[in-house]
Amino acid sequence: MKKTYINGVGCISTQKTFDTVFLEEAVYNQKDTVFTLVKPEYKEYVSPAASRRMAKGVKNGIVASALAMKDSNTEKVDAIITGTGMGCIEDSDRFLKNILDNNEEFLTPTSFIQSTHNTVGAQIALLMQCKGYNFTYVNGVVSFESALLDAKLQIEEEEASSILVGGIDENTDYTMSLYKLAGFVKNDQETPFDVLKETSTGVVYGEGASFFVLENERKESTYAQILDVEIINSLEENEVETEILAFLKTNNLQISDIDAVVLGFNGDAHFDSYYKNLARNTFAQTPQLYYKHLSGEFNTASAFGLWIASKVIQTQEIPNIIKVNSVEKPAYNTILLYNQYKGKNHSFTLLSK
């Protein structure tokens, strides 16, 4: 059975995560309830003629995937697998609004073409001329982990030797206005936000695209090996520790073997207790990291978390801005990521150097 290595990463996010090393320019925005993306120079990656029919999620996906390919020094992959919770929602909004505004008449193809969830994977494949397996997972907050798990299984089973995997989501004014009405987004009046100390419900939203080149061999560019990925739909707070112990045991590891744990704190007081319990008890002696105060919450924010974990293993450094506690380890070789949203869709990802 082949092993799976992260050999290249690319990230476009609400932080300057391109043309930088590792969050040296990161800013903790505690005022806004919705973060917007730091845009790269799209023209360097896609021609204006092609980009005019691309939603922003598509453009971000193309840039992030190009960065990952360049980082891994790879020109071709055998497969492209993406995860997205909401797809190209901006064009979905536009298409649906057109239907309503025009009484179901005069529908044009452009917004429809751009609005499908698999547009990102398809456009990347077209640009790379990759005619292999191309799949998009739309599974809420485990969309990215579903893609990652598929890729890992394909590499292990030798169905593919190199796979481009990514998580992409974009936010829009209309969707955010609905989320605000539904109470998913924090109240603007409650600033400044502090993800680790929040007592209110709702979260600060974000968007982004993170891509990874996974291959079946270690290279000079290797960040980490993906040891395991697990997805569980429902877990009670008191079941998480047992689940983690069992997950680690399957990989012949225990809590003390974990050099850092990346937790998906998002500032929702109702559900961050899942993480707080772990932080106070199970991982009290382990360096703890968080990232959604930088990326915002969105369905594939955990891909940003994987980008963080990969960078920590590569650089062997943890920037202060992502530290939850002050515990340190001499080396960061084994990292566990845990994420959930509203107590559902739990994912565990295990990396080792």
Residues that bind another protein (CB under 8 A): 48-49, 51-53, 102, 105-110, 113
CB atoms within 10 A of CB 251: 15
Q: CB-wise, 102 or 242, nearer to another protein?
A: 102
Q: State the chain's maximal CA–CA distance in angstroms.
A: 64
Q: CB-wise, 48 or 330, nearer to another protein?
A: 48
Encode 252-269: b = buried (16+ Cβ within 10 Å), e = exposed. Answer: ebebeebbbbbbbbbbbe
Shortest CB 101 distance to another protein, Å = 10
Shortest CB 170 distance to another protein, Å = 16
CB atoms within 10 A of CB 39: 12
Q: CB-wise, 49 or 331, nearer to another protein?
A: 49
Shortest CB 43 distance to another protein, Å = 9
Q: CB-wise, 20 or 110, nearer to another protein?
A: 110
Q: CB-wise, 48 or 192, nearer to another protein?
A: 48
Shortest CB 47 distance to another protein, Å = 10
> Please, what is the Cα angle at 213 between 46 and 78, to 5 degrees?
85
Shortest CB 110 distance to another protein, Å = 6
Q: CB-wise, 95 or 304, nearer to another protein?
A: 95
Handedness of CA 275, 281, 282, 286 (dihedral sign): positive
Judging by DSSP bridges, how do beta strands 344-352 and 334-341 pair with one another? antiparallel
Distance from C-alpha of 293 to C-alpha of 170, rounded to nearest angstrom? 17
Judging by DSSP bridges, how do beta strands 162-169 and 208-215 pair with one another? antiparallel
Shortest CB 48 distance to another protein, Å = 5
Distance from C-alpha of 174 to C-alpha of 93, rounded to nearest angstrom? 7
Shortest CB 108 distance to another protein, Å = 5
The region, left, alpha or beta by phi > 0 then psi within -120 to 50, assigned to residue 76 is: beta
Q: How many residues does the chain have?
A: 353
Q: CB-wise, 115 or 340, nearer to another protein?
A: 115
Distance from C-alpha of 149 to C-alpha of 141, rounded to nearest angstrom? 14
| Closest-CA residue to 172 (of 86, 282, 248) | 86
| Closest-CA residue to 32 (of 143, 169, 168, 171) | 171
